[in-house]
Amino acid sequence: MTFAGALDLPEIQGEICRISPRGTLYHVAQVNTSWGAAATASLWSSLPGLLPLLSLMPYSSINWSAYASLNASGGLQKNLSLDIQLTTDQVEKVLRRSRIVNQIHFGGGYEDRATNLSIAIAVQAMFPTDELFPMLKTVTMRACTQKLWVTMPQIPYAVAGVTIAQGRRNADEIRGLAATFPQAPSLAINCRLDCPRSYMAAIVHGITALHVHGQDLGVVLAVIGSRPAWSIKELRIDVPVAAPGQLDHLFCLLTQHCLSTIRLAITIHALVEDQRWSLTSAVLQALSTLWLTSLYLHLPMRASMSDDDLIAAAESWPGIQELRVIDISPLPPPRPATSMCTLHGLAAVISRCPHLEEIALPGLLDCRSVPTALETRMILRSSLPSSGFPLALLEVEDCLVHDVEAAGSFLRGLFPYLLCIGCWEDGSSETLDQLSQYLLDYPALE
């Protein structure tokens, strides 16, 4: 087959179009029928919002309405609405093209947001929800952008009672867009200029995900509660500030609406009025309804995980690979000795979770009592290769040690890949440095 002949193959044409920029695809679509089909499929597989849908409709079927009025507080607002009237054949044309769409990415400009929400509401009224975008996998709401040279406040839009202004999206706007795509298993909402890398990695690997970054926790609660059930594998939440009561409500919603989640990451940068939230046994028990392989909690909290707490978590998540609970309070409270995790507790956890690779614990690790050689051999029998567990990262606030050599020897025997014990706070401690130095001086035997 000649090179020219290879270019006629649909697979080659599709791959070329997949890596070509949209501007090039507009020209490729006009080459011939086969190249036009390949370019059209690539163009429509990922849409920059809903505006392209209107290009499939006759101009006479689209009726925009815009007028100014005063809102409830007496301020000026621009009211925007869209009415679509299509024949049966025209509806089928739009539905046929929508079957190609896999991704929709919404921009952050507040005028674009008003336009897209107007189209979303009109589309819901015109088309059957279960037939529009049947292959849609991903919806992304990008960062809310603002022109730096604009000094005068912009007049907000009102779309079907939803106010759209500069800055973050509110809960009503997000619910309005999300309701248009109940079939989309993956949704990302963030207030940064780029889509979170972790979210894109999840999509590339075919993992259904819900990511909400930079929004108020109230928006997160509204999004999670907008569907009876989310068929997602990964849930990542990153919000600037929240109230303890909202966190309790969040965990309650997770156990009701996100039962298929196996990777959970929650980051709260601050709690209102410098409060702390308590990670209690009841919270861990509620989370036990999820079959987690990764749990990451990074927030100001009152958290002291005892051996009993860790063992209960381990029994709930035998397949967990990452367990990171980090207290970012400026001044962590004193930890009672009874709430510390011990080496015996760590051994019990690792024997129940043989795939655990990363663990970060709030509070101190009590290494003063070291399991005996016989106990260590019994624990090693539960490891998969019988030569140690795959744990490579262990982080604590600090640790208590009487005999560095005995504690280090125990850790080295159980965890051949563990290079050091880290501190999730800034800096380290002399005790952690001594244990880490022992692990470096006595690497695992090959």
Sequence spans of domains, the chain: 10-46
Could you tell me if 391 and 418 are in contact, meaning their C-beta atoms sit under 8 angstroms apart?
yes
User: Nearest 5 degrees, angle CA 336-CA 338-CA 341?
Assistant: 100
pLDDT at residue 386, rounded to an integer:
59
DSSP class of 94: H
Could you tell me if 319 and 288 are in contact, meaning their C-beta atoms sit under 8 angstroms apart?
no
Say how far apart CA 194 and CA 192 lie, in whole Å: 5
Say how far apart CA 44 and CA 102 lie, in whole Å: 8
Residue 430 has a CB neighbour count (10 Å cut-off) of 9
pLDDT at residue 17, rounded to an integer:
64
The residues, any chain, with a CB within 8 Å of residue 15's CB and separated by 6 or more, are none
H helices, E strands: number in the chain: 17, 21
Could you tell me if 110 and 157 are in contact, meaning their C-beta atoms sit under 8 angstroms apart?
yes
The sheet with strand 341-342 has its strands ordered as 341-342, 364-366, 398-400
DSSP class of 427: S
Could you tell me if 344 and 369 are in contact, meaning their C-beta atoms sit under 8 angstroms apart?
yes
Taking CA atoms, 339 is separated from 239, 310, 361, in Å, by 29, 11, 12
**Phi and psi at residue 139, in whole multiples of 5°?**
-125, 125
Residue 144 has a CB neighbour count (10 Å cut-off) of 21
pLDDT at residue 334, rounded to an integer:
57
pLDDT at residue 61, rounded to an integer:
93
pLDDT at residue 278, rounded to an integer:
81
Say how far apart CA 393 and CA 403 lie, in whole Å: 22
Hey, is 367 helix, strand or coil?
Answer: coil
Question: 201 is written with which tokens?
Answer: 């990695």
What is the end-to-end Cα distance of the chain in Å, rounded? 51
Burial of 11-25, coded b for 16+ CB within 10 Å and e otherwise, reads: eebeebbeebeeeeb
Residue 192's H or E segment, with its range, is none
Say how far apart CA 299 and CA 242 lie, in whole Å: 10
Residue 194 has a CB neighbour count (10 Å cut-off) of 9
Taking CA atoms, 46 is separated from 76, 117, 129, 381, in Å, by 36, 18, 19, 51
* Pairing between β-strand 162-164 and β-strand 157-159 as defined by DSSP bridges: antiparallel
Residue 230's H or E segment, with its range, is none
DSSP class of 334: P
- Which residues in 328-443 belong to E strands, given as ranges? 341-342, 358-360, 364-366, 393-396, 398-400, 421-423
Could you tell me if 312 and 283 are in contact, meaning their C-beta atoms sit under 8 angstroms apart?
no
**Phi and psi at residue 394, in whole multiples of 5°?**
-130, 120
pTM: 0.82
- The tens-digit pLDDT sequence of the chain (446 residues) is 454 555 665 666 666 666 677 667 666 676 676 666 767 777 788 888 999 999 889 999 999 999 999 888 888 999 999 999 999 999 999 998 899 898 899 988 888 999 999 999 999 889 888 889 999 988 988 866 555 444 556 789 999 989 888 878 888 888 888 888 888 888 888 744 444 445 444 444 456 889 888 888 988 998 898 888 888 999 999 999 999 889 989 999 999 999 999 999 999 998 888 777 888 778 888 888 999 999 999 988 876 678 888 888 888 899 999 999 888 877 655 555 556 788 999 988 888 888 999 998 887 888 889 988 888 888 887 666 556 788 999 988 888 888 989 999 999 888 888 888 887 555 567 888 888 888 888 876 55
The residues, any chain, with a CB within 8 Å of residue 206's CB and separated by 6 or more, are none
Say how far apart CA 289 and CA 316 lie, in whole Å: 8
